[in-house]
Every structure is written in C-alpha cells, then in structure tokens.
Amino acid sequence: MAELTKVLAFDFGASSGRAMLFTFDGEKLSIEEMHRFSNDPVMAGNSFHWDVLRLFFEIKQGINKTVLAGHKDIKAIGIDTWGVDFGLFDKNGKLLGNPYHYRDTRTSGMIDLADQMMGKKYIFDKTGIQFNFFNTLFQFMAMKKENDPVLGIADKMLFMPDIFNYLLTGVMKNEYSIASTSQLLNVKTKDWDKELMEKASIPTDIFGEIVMPGTVIGELSDDICEELGCPKIPVVAVGSHDTASAVASVPVTEDYKYAYISTGTWALMGSELDSPNVTDTTFQYDFTNEGGVCGKIRFLKNIMGLWIIQESKRQWAREGKNFTFDDLEQAAWSAEPFQSFIDPDCEDFAAPGNMPRRIREFCKRTGQHVPEGEGEIIRCVAQSLAFKFRMVADAIEDITKEPLSAVHMVGGGIKDTMVCRFTASATGKTVLAGPVEATSTGNAVVQLMALGKIGSLTEGRQIVKNSFPVKTYEPEDAENWNKAYEAYKKIVTLK
C-alpha cells in the first residue's frame, strides 16, 4: 500500500472559511472537511474591517479539530485568502489595528488621484495590474491622504495570508501571488517597485522579502504547538491568493488554449500565460497580470460574480422571504429570457445593500424592461453574468490572437448550474465545471509539491483530474443567445 501524505488547507473566502484535510495516496487526493466557519467583517464607525483575530482563532480551531480527530501526522499547513488587504506591524511585531475590508469606502477617488499624480498608463506599464478601486496601492494612497498616523510607526506590511503565516510561525514573509494583486509589484522583476511607491508617497521600507509559492515559511511555534497539542508542522506559502490556488487546480493536462473562471462571490476569468502581457491593447481592456504557481501569469479580469445574487438573497431574507438558492434558480427558469440586462461590474452593485432595488433602478435608467419578481431579477443577473464572461472571452482572443477551445469553471460557484449552462450558451464554448473545492485543492497540490510528493504542476493537475468529477455543459439555442448578446452590448461595456 502506498504511503499516505496528509496536508491541511485553509481557504478563506469573502464570507466564509474552511479547513480541508487532503490525503494523497500517490495517485489520488481525498478530501475531508475538518472545520467551516463564517467570515463576518465588521462595520466600526464609518470603517469596514476584517475581524482578523477571530479568523486566526478559527485557524487554531481547525488545527485542533484535525488533531483531535486523530490526524497528528499532518505533514504541512497552507493558507490562502482573498487579495489586496493587509495589516501593518510595529517594530515589536505587534499588529497596528484591524485590517480594512476591500469594500471600505476610503479609497473612493484614489484611482483618479493616482492618474493625476502618475498617469494610469505609467502605473499599468510598471505593474501590469487591472485598476480596481480597492487595490493595495489605492488603500495606501488613502491612508497617506488622511495622514493616518499608523504609517509613521509601521515597520512591516503583511497581506492577510502572510499575517496568518506569521501568527503561526513568527516568520514575516510576503508571498508572491498575493503581493502581485497589490499594484505595487513590478511585473517584470517580480519584486516591489520602489520607484512607483515613491511617486505615490508610500513608505518603501515596510515591504519585506517576497517568496514564491511552495516555499516553507517555517514551523508552528512552540507556543502554538503547546496550545493546540500538535507537533511542529511546517507552514507552506502556497498560492496564497485564493485565485492562484484555484487556477493551480484546473484539471487540464492537454496542450490547448482555454479560459478559466474561478467563480464564487467574485468571478476571476482569464488565461494562463508563461510571461506577462503588458501591451496597449491589454491596458485598453483593463486586464491584469497576476502571479501564479510555478512562474505562471494569471492573465485575467476581475468580474463581480455571484455577489449580486447572494446579496439579493440576503435582502429578501431581511424582508422575511427566506428563499434557498434552489428556490431562486427554479423561479428564474420560469421567467421570460432576455428581457433585461445589467452590467455586473457597475459601481451600483459594489457595496452591500438592497440589490433588487438597484437592479430595477439600473434597468429603468437604461430604458429596459424593469424586472419585478424574484425570478425575473435572478434571470437578469445570471444572463448578464454569462454575457460578461463572453465579453471577457472575446477580449482574451483579441489580445492573445488565439482562439479559446473551452472554458473551465472551478470553485463553489459551479453549484449554480444555471450560470454554468448560461455561460456555455453565451460564449458558444464547451464549459467544463469542476472541481468545486478548487481553491483548497490547489492549495494542497502546492503543499505536496513543496514536500516533494508531486513533481510538477502538470502532474498535480493530472492528480486533480483523477480525483474529482468534472461536469460538461454544451452551448444551447445559439441563434437567440447571439441575438441577445448584441442587445447586451448596447447596455454595458468591458472597459
């Protein structure tokens, strides 16, 4: 019997987190959920924060539950989270306040300010990164504009997964894939761009050493081991940005051109490249070049994913209508198709709130049929999201000058079969959906590579393909979808 290797993957999303135990037998991965918890950001005054110490408590709970379940032979631990957000530490290694949530409003107007100070083209040529109001660059610029006193005493900056790695091991490092989301990393050197920081009046001495995915950060500290009753387990810097881990799990072993969509609250759609694509066309389309596993570049676009559906469901719950997602999908199938569309990336839908009302207001403002019932609203959102995926797929083909053969969808969002079916029909391409637990699976693959149990990313993807089911969706009703797409394009733009 082959030796079994166990690794523990922590995956933090915008609304929940999980600790997943992976067991590798040399050919396949098996997965067991050890701990799942909500991730509840906190509004304090006018500021929106992550409850970082509570999240660290949940990490310790995950380790403790795993050990108590008899798995003391864990060989490694890896942590991935969402991008851009960070904490600042003083010279004694103490955290200086709760990290801000990327949806905090303090970055409003910072993109325009950066454009005035440096020019957007200069920033893009340096970093290769898409302009999002929440990028780390703009968070620092907002702190500088507000004369935040924390900047004066900060000694180190750590992104969210870096914070958790530090609290577990006592070692401060910045992992490459998460750092690449910041718009502060030079896309060519893969190191901090000090010239850009100086132009933005950001202190340059708080940014630490960058390590690549698969680097062992250190071992659990003595204090952690004593508290949790566990051995000194190595902590690996995985693809610490959740999308980097998710893309590492895409089960592609053949050499063909495809797009991936890592879908959940956000939808990250792109193509994997061997080197950055920093051209005028890329800049015009506002694509991003983020770091991936094994030197790969995640050439992609951030799209508002299932957030609008999730937030609509929460609004209806506040009104006393406690629908399940299945209820909403069934209602949507009963609604008339192609009556109205929204731009999922419109600022109207970025913040929490009454999403159904905002959808109706958008449709009224753009001279469309105004959806009223839950089914019409969900169908409007699902169709609009699928058409946005087509716009991004068309842009990838235009930029790279290569046709896409298929679309691989991974992550929890593939449980929404309507969106998967609509994506196939909207793009006119075969959609291959799976695995569901893509991020934690990619996280585990990188840990096993660090341990020498998997020899390459290609081998890792073959193992994922052997281990988890993939569902295929083919395009339907091409004539009506193509006709509706022309109407959709009049409502929204990609740039």
Q: Which residues are catalytic?
A: 242
Which amino acid appears at position 389 of this protein? F
Q: What HEC string does 51-75 produce?
A: CHHHHHHHHHHHHHHHHHCCCCCEE
Residues 6+ apart with CB under 8 A from 325: 309, 313, 415, 416
CB proximity list for 376: less than 8 A, separation 6 or greater:
332, 335, 336, 339, 340
Q: What count of Cα atoms within 13 Å lies in the side-chain half-sphere of residue 44? A: 11
User: Which of 387, 426, 388, 389 shows the shortest CA–CA distance to 409?
Assistant: 389
- The string over 234-252, giving b where at least 16 C-beta atoms fall within 10 Å of a residue's C-beta and e elsewhere, is bbbbbbbbbbbbbbbbbbb
Strands (E), 179-227: 210-211, 215-219
Using DSSP's 3-state secondary structure scheme, residue 215 falls into strand
Question: Crossing angle of helices 160-169/52-68, nearest 10°?
Answer: 50
Query: What does the block give as tokens for 343?
Result: 């731009």
Q: Which residues contact 330 (CB under 8 A, 6 or more apart)?
A: none
Element (H, E) at 463: helix 457-467
Radius of gyration of the chain (CA): 22
278: exposed, middle or buried (Cβ count in 10 Å: 0-12, 13-18, 19+): middle
Spacing of C-alpha 141 from chain mean position: 23
Distance from first CA to last CA of the chain, Å, rounded? 54
Please name every residue paired with 54 in a beta bridge, in sequence order, or none if there are none. none
327 touches 418 (CB < 8 A):
no
Q: By CB neighbour count within 10 A (0-12 exposed, 13-18 middle, 19+ buried), where does 92 fall?
A: exposed
For residue 216, give the nearest of 168, 181, 179 by alpha carbon.
168
Both tokens of 338, joined, read 């192609």
Cβ-based neighbours of 181, under 8 Å, separated by 6 or more: 83, 84, 129, 135, 136, 241, 290
Structure tokens belonging to residue 464: 């994922």
The strand pair at 174-175 and 210-211 is best described as parallel
